[in-house]
């Protein structure tokens, strides 16, 4: 929801971008609707830009 778009997605992006997320890290998500990885990426991408 709104919290993910404003806080969680950008924070995860900056941690990844700054090399602070280990390569062995997996992100697991859950949604009530059927989403592919591409769908999630397309929805989250606008909130991960500086």
The residue count of the chain comes to 50
Q: For 4-40, what is each residue's pLDDT tens digit?
A: 888 888 898 899 999 999 999 998 878 888 989 899 8
Got the DSSP string for 2-46? HHIIIIIHHHHHHHHHTT-S-TT-------SS---HHHHHHHHGG
* pTM given for the model: 0.64
Distance separating alpha carbons of residues 15 and 7, to the nearest angstrom: 12
Quick check: 50 pLDDT over 70?
A: no
Look at residue 15 in the predicted model and tell me its pLDDT. Answer: 93
């Amino acid at each position: 929801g709104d919290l993910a778009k404003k806080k969680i997605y950008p924070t995860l992006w900056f941690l990844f971008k700054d090399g602070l997320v280990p390569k062995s890290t997996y992100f697991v998500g859950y949604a009530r609707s059927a989403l592919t990885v591409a769908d999630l990426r397309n929805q989250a991408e606008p909130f991960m830009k500086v």
